Every structure is written in structure tokens, then in C-alpha cells.
Amino acid sequence: MTLTYETLSENRSFGGTQGVYKHKSETTGTEMTFAVYLPPEAQFGKVPVLWYLSGLTCTHENAMTKAGAQEWASEYGIALIFPDTSPRGEGVANDDAYDLGQGAGFYVDATEKPWSPHFKMWHYIAHELPELVFSNFPLDRDAQGITGHSMGGHGALTLAMTFPETYKSVSAFAPIANPSQSDWGRKQFTAYLGADESKWQAHDSTVLMRERGYPREILIDQGASDQFLNLLKPEALAHAMMERRQPGVFRMQEGYDHSYFFVQTFMADHVAWHAERLG
């Protein structure tokens, strides 16, 4: 596994450093871009890590520039990692629709052509990118949390419930909560994983909640005026949490939609949530 990378930019931000980097990924077979924010404390030793997974159509840049997370990460002394949402570039399969292909990796490892050669975002996020960043940045591997928005919220929840020993805290903003029962999921799972719906279950947070849950508290914020509520299906996950007696907080936020204005508003709560649990 290649652990080298190229620096694209580094900027001072709230006393820390916001960097953007790229590397050659063996998992996706492409160049991948990612961003890392290091708080001031990283000058003196390893710091806790919060992974932020973005949603449909996004790159590493959307949350980096729109979520307002650096201020709070600096205050709590926590690093932020913003991966891309899919492989990109010449020779990488794509689709005319915004919700399939480049920008819409759905945090799964595709097994179906033409997606399977490059669309391996589950392995990339869970294994390859962590090896690179923990080898090159002052980050505490034993203090990792994960969050995300929309498709990224789906990814954060499924990764955390699959690897609870890795992710010591988890939260989500408006996650795609029951993708195997939604057009934001069924379409993509069929394309990437095939028609056998049993293969989809490992990537549905409602199913995982019913089957295994998460050994610590979960925080979820959902805009009550979200224009995509029928696709996100938050009620399915809320019911599964209640049925399992899952510790956590599920908040319906009156008047908020699906935009980054919603994410910005509650970002301070989420960073504080993770910082408290990561020490």
C-alpha cells in the first residue's frame, strides 16, 4: 500500500492548518483527493480524529468550505478528515444522473460492472485512507469518530455499526436511513451490488440497527422541513432505535431543510459530542 501523498494546498485556519492532498489509491485505481484539518494542539502531539463523509454530488471540498467545522475543531482540539465521495477521472465509469457514478459512491464496494474496477469506497474509507493519514499526520488512531451528511450520514452510520471498535463515536446529519427501501439506495445498490437484496443489508443503517445496534450513544439531527424526507426515511431508523432501546438522541429540527445551512447550524453540537466521547 502506498503511503505517500502530494500537498495541493495548506491554509491557516483558527490557529490550525487546513490542508488538501492527493494520492494514488490502490483500492480505487485512481488518484484520490482528501482534506485534513489539524487543530493547534497537533503541533505538540497526536489529536483525536473526526471523519466527515459528504453526500451526493459532493467532493472533499463541500464540507471543508461550507460546514463551518474548523472553528469548533480548533476549540476542542480535534482533527477533521474530509474524503471524496467517489473515484473520479478518465476511464472511471459514470452516469448522466447525479445520484449514480462519480460523486455518488454510496460508501460500498461495487461488485458489478462497469463500477467494480474503481468504486471501492467502503474499503477506501475503512482501510486504505486511514493507513495513509495515520502514517503521515499526528492523529490518534485510538480516538476516532465519524459523522456525515445525507449519503455521508448513511456511510457514517453503517461504518460505525460495522466497526464499533474503530469508531468510538458516531453522529449523522439527515442520513439516508433506510436505503434498501428508498429510491436513494435501491437504484444504487442494484447498480453497484447487483439485484440480490441480501447483499444490500450490510449497507442499510436501519437493518444494522435492528440486527446489532451501536454499543455507545448515537446523535442524529434531521431537518423537519427537509425536501428529501421521503427518500431519507428517518422514521424507519427512529423506529429501529426505539425497538432496540438504542441509547442516543434523534432530533427533528423544526424549519430546517437539507442544505449546508442546516449542517452549519448544528455542527458545533456534533463536534462537541465527538470531542467529549473521544477525550
Give 14: exposed, middle or buried? Use CB within 10 Å, 0-12, 13-18, 19+. Answer: middle
Out of 23, 149, 203, 258, which one is annotated catalytic? 258
Give 28: exposed, middle or buried? Use CB within 10 Å, 0-12, 13-18, 19+. Answer: buried
Q: What are phi and psi of 168, to 5 degrees?
A: -80, -5
Q: Which among 33, 279, 248, 84 has a CA at the least distance from the CA of 157?
A: 248
Out of 150, 171, 182, 205, which one is annotated catalytic? 150
Q: Name residue, grid cell 432530533.
A: 251
Q: What is the DSSP letter of 191?
A: H
CA distance 243 to 220: 16
CA distance 264 to 57: 18
To the nearest 10 degrees (0 to 180), the angle between helices 69-76 and 260-278 is 10
Let me know if 149 is a catalytic residue: no
Q: Which helix (H) or strand (E) holds 219?
A: strand 218-223
At 41, list the grid cell. 494542539
Let me know if 258 is a catalytic residue: yes
- Cβ pair 223, 168 in contact under 8 A: no
Let me know if 23 is a catalytic residue: no
Q: Name residue, grid cell 452516469.
A: 95
Out of 84, 204, 221, 226, which one is annotated catalytic? 226
Give 277: exposed, middle or buried? Use CB within 10 Å, 0-12, 13-18, 19+. Answer: middle
Q: What is the DSSP letter of 180?
A: G
Query: Dihedral sign, CA of 12, 141, 163, 248?
Result: negative
Q: Which of the residues are catalytic?
A: 150, 226, 258
